Structure 1
């Protein structure tokens, strides 16, 4: 909401006038209570003041982030020579073999922003898959 300088001056003048009127009402009600020696049951004003209207703030729909699958690969068993990692990046599917668990964990821990992991498999010495540890292709 943007207002010009003249509008801001007019708004401030009206707010000062409102404050003065509310102070007058308070002083009048206080004097009535003093005369009676007790609190008088004042009724609420017959009009609804704009400042007393409670409005709901528009809430923005929260985007639900898809939780990345937590993959904790195991060490290679007997007959397994390496890990084969398959992912897509910018629409292109890529595979990489890693013989060391540290390299695999580093890749899984800090993937590239555009990288989507598809599959993690163990492979034997000939490159044939032995076991699938993670598969997001279905």
Structure 2
């Protein structure tokens, strides 16, 4: 909620006025109770006050594009790249990444609708060496 300085001044002025009126009501009710020597059964206001409305606590929103808690390792000497396989909008795609930072950026900030299927390391000939993650089974 953002408000301009003029709106904030008007809001604060109204809140001060509200506090003064509530203080007057309290003083009046206290004087009536003193006259009677006991508490008078005051009725609740006939209108619903905004301050009396109880709001439900907002539940934190769950991320729809939550990825797997998978932490890739660095490449071994016989490995030259990571081969990443994912689906997006019903289409399967594959990409090779030589940099661990590139792989981590895809894992931590995936594209909308992207689902990681497989991460494996490949050798110089493009043959798979080791599967690091596999969600295809």
What TM bracket, shorter-length normalisation?
A: 0.5 to 0.7
Residues 69/26 of structure 1: CA separation in 2 closer, same or farther (3 Å cut)? same
TM-score, with length taken from structure 2: 0.56
| Cα separation, 1, equivalents of 2:25 and 2:72 | 75
Displacement after TM superposition at 1:62 (Å): 5.4
TM-score, with length taken from structure 1: 0.56
- Alpha-carbon RMSD across the aligned residues, in angstroms, is 3.7
The residue aligned with 1:30 is 31
Q: What count of residue pairs does the alignment treat as equivalent?
A: 112
Residues 98/44 of structure 1: CA separation in 2 closer, same or farther (3 Å cut)? same
| Cα separation, 1, equivalents of 2:26 and 2:105 | 70
Gap regions ≥5 residues in structure 2: 1-20
Gap regions ≥5 residues in structure 1: 1-18
Residue deviations 1:18-64 (CA, integer Å, cap 9, x gap): x8xxx79964751662x6xxx8221324x565458965546676542
